[in-house]
Structure 1
């Protein structure tokens, strides 16, 4: 592809210039002991800015990035061979964050992170289009690494033994009556694993019974659905790269979601614990960490009971034991980016999500006043804050300082 065509679509100068610097460091005869995180983080930030010019053209973004990076590195040959080389870039193998044996989490190479981000945003948009075509009213809240690690920490699967980053999606529906139509809509996404979608549909009927048997009880409906498991992703054609990852869907009615984002309280008080139930397909964990603004974990025990086609898990929305706010796992899907991908009528989440954010920031202000000697940040209360993209961490924490 001609570089002038790429330049006509978007301004790639900052991406190309920074990648040139990174590539020169990596190709130096002595090689760096470590590549400064600031470089990978700055590249992720700049990729995100260019990506804005490719709305609904995610694959074209990936193709243009291949052209840019191939030019910088002087790569020749067909597109699949250049794709493979950049995706697996051997120059990163000596660097600790990029090693598979890294006990924390392997950081993907820059081209890998960009391609896998593109694929997930593309697939998320496909899901959105299918539900809209089926006239299913939904709102989509995106969580996980596709928000806080976009173009930085979204990893693929070099082989089936190493799972790829999944999509964490919270779907809000006006009422449980929308769920059967949602199940039908998912059947129209050929990339989703058919058996898992059928299980999803069967479990939706069980979910309806669970709610009927326990009126007034707040119950989420969750399941992981593999995508690209038995269907080839043409975007990766000829590359030999394993395409599969999971779409983790968490469905909540608007009433339940409103409770989760604290619409029913004016402020976050001390000594409060709010719990809900989650109907999950897989066996839930029995112990998990709840983390405060100081970044220190407190361990919480949880209970689950087997039911037809899954388990009902009792889990906290949040608690304020020991005068510290600790968001639960599902609030962690909304934080720290509070990213609403879409919201259809009659669902409108922009104001409620903003209200939720301000309540958390006011609570952070209160806790800083009580313990002025501590370092407390919004990012620190998220269980994955250590793998946030640097610019995301700066943005989240600068906003909370200015609040």
Structure 2
């Protein structure tokens, strides 16, 4: 039976299964001992009257979940079933059904504070973010399969990459679900028609969404594709009533947005400053911008941060064009003190994106850029010997990174 059918059969509207039935299979797939121990430790700590669980414990639990998940590549439904069985067993729950799923999905005992001070957004519960991360990983693979006949590359960025199993939210309590963020690279804009057709087979995408995507792709290809413009577009997934086997009906709304940033190879090379061997004014120039063809003009500021964590803000205005707006964000900026500020699209390339598929072999270009970025940090460190400089300080989303992501990024 397929992963999808397993979930439908065992945890559907009337599905019931004993926790003990799944535990032997879970233990055959992975070592769950650390996950069990940390979940039990967090529960015992709260039961003893401690007001909140230390961040080191919750982050340790996330790290262990990520390690176990590595044994379930491409089997997200089975993974979520096994997580539910293990956590239910620790809690002494004998039966797995929709109510068990809901209790774990809504279990916010270890989520404190309820709102992240870094993002002013609701923090997901542990099982919620596991399920929602898995839904996005699965759907990224579905897009890869749909794009197998196109010459393209897909990079998974955003929270599903650097906040997996920690910050990816569902639509519980009326909050907007986290997007699935992908950078898709093509040789030229002539490949957009194939990408639109590929997107039409994704689950729960409406015909109206695909038609809007097609109209905007035509506008981009006909007059905006100049080698310095990104085509950004969002599609609604699971929003047409299509049931998601990973999320039982009635627990939360399944719909969320697929956020696509489409670049031609020329735009990628321009963003990564491929023409310059070093990120210095003498060879790369003091600033570089690109155009971003977006659906809305949301966002008034172009906020960039340097490796010391200092912000540089400039107004970001948009000009209305057919079916959208053109904005001109900075790719990077080097100020009068010779401090480098990477822009939004450069920060998409670090921490290292997940390479979902790579039909254009862009991995060497990404590695070369990250090498130049760390070379730039060393260059500034030689000038400011007593200043603590870190690549992660330059990322606007650093506060929601997993601790391991920060360590790897700053270590180079």
Q: TM-score, normalised by structure 2?
A: 0.89
Distance 1:90 1:36 in 2: 14
Deviation at 1:100, TM superposition (A): 7.8
Distance 1:187 1:302 in 2: 32
Question: Using a 3 Å threshold, how does the CA distance of structure 1 residues 334 and 74 change in structure 2: closer, same or farther?
Answer: same
User: Partner of 1:286 in structure 2?
Assistant: 300
Contact 1:165 1:245 in 2 (8 A): yes
Distance 1:225 1:2 in 2: 36
- The counterpart of 2:251, out of the listed 213, 236, 240, is 240
Contact 2:303 2:312 in 1 (8 A): yes
1:296 pairs with 2:310: yes
Deviation at 1:218, TM superposition (A): 1.3
User: Partner of 1:84 in structure 2?
Assistant: 102
Deviation at 1:104, TM superposition (A): 3.0
Distance 1:164 1:205 in 2: 29
User: Partner of 1:152 in structure 2?
Assistant: 166
Question: Using a 3 Å threshold, how does the CA distance of structure 1 residues 359 and 90 change in structure 2: closer, same or farther?
Answer: closer
- The counterpart of 1:250, out of the listed 256, 261, 275, is 261
- The counterpart of 2:366, out of the listed 353, 358, 361, is 353
- The counterpart of 1:331, out of the listed 337, 341, 346, is 346
User: Partner of 2:137 in structure 1?
Assistant: 121
Contact 1:284 1:313 in 2 (8 A): no
- The counterpart of 2:231, out of the listed 218, 221, 226, is 221
Contact 1:142 1:334 in 2 (8 A): no
Question: Using a 3 Å threshold, how does the CA distance of structure 1 residues 2 and 77 change in structure 2: closer, same or farther?
Answer: closer
Deviation at 1:33, TM superposition (A): 2.6
1:131 pairs with 2:147: yes
User: Partner of 2:199 in structure 1?
Assistant: 186
Distance 1:266 1:294 in 2: 23
Deviation at 1:329, TM superposition (A): 1.0
User: Partner of 2:182 in structure 1?
Assistant: 169
Distance 2:96 2:61 in 1: 25
Report the count of equivalent residues.
387
Contact 1:108 1:154 in 2 (8 A): yes
Q: What stretches of structure 2 of length at least 5 have no aligned partner?
A: 1-20
Q: Aligned-pair RMSD on alpha carbons?
A: 1.8
Contact 2:190 2:221 in 1 (8 A): no
Distance 2:117 2:382 in 1: 41
Question: Using a 3 Å threshold, how does the CA distance of structure 1 residues 100 and 374 change in structure 2: closer, same or farther?
Answer: closer
Contact 2:85 2:96 in 1 (8 A): no
Question: Using a 3 Å threshold, how does the CA distance of structure 1 residues 300 and 193 change in structure 2: closer, same or farther?
Answer: farther
1:19-38 equivalences under 5 Å are 19-28=39-48, 30=49, 32-38=50-56
User: Partner of 1:266 in structure 2?
Assistant: 277
Question: Using a 3 Å threshold, how does the CA distance of structure 1 residues 103 and 227 change in structure 2: closer, same or farther?
Answer: same
Distance 2:406 2:119 in 1: 21
- Residues 343-385 of structure 1, C-alpha deviations (whole Å, 9 max, x = no match): 01xx111211110000000000111111121111111100011
Deviation at 1:254, TM superposition (A): 0.8
Contact 2:305 2:395 in 1 (8 A): yes
Contact 1:42 1:391 in 2 (8 A): no
Contact 2:52 2:110 in 1 (8 A): no
1:311-330 equivalences under 5 Å are 311-322=325-336, 323-330=338-345
Question: Using a 3 Å threshold, how does the CA distance of structure 1 residues 163 and 101 change in structure 2: closer, same or farther?
Answer: farther
Q: TM-score, normalised by structure 1?
A: 0.91
Question: Using a 3 Å threshold, how does the CA distance of structure 1 residues 233 and 23 change in structure 2: closer, same or farther?
Answer: same
**Other structure's SS at 2:109 match:** helix
Question: Using a 3 Å threshold, how does the CA distance of structure 1 residues 103 and 208 change in structure 2: closer, same or farther?
Answer: closer
Contact 1:293 1:381 in 2 (8 A): yes
Contact 1:336 1:378 in 2 (8 A): no
Distance 2:382 2:233 in 1: 40
User: Partner of 1:13 in structure 2?
Assistant: 33
Distance 1:66 1:242 in 2: 19
Distance 2:246 2:104 in 1: 15
Question: Using a 3 Å threshold, how does the CA distance of structure 1 residues 281 and 57 change in structure 2: closer, same or farther?
Answer: same
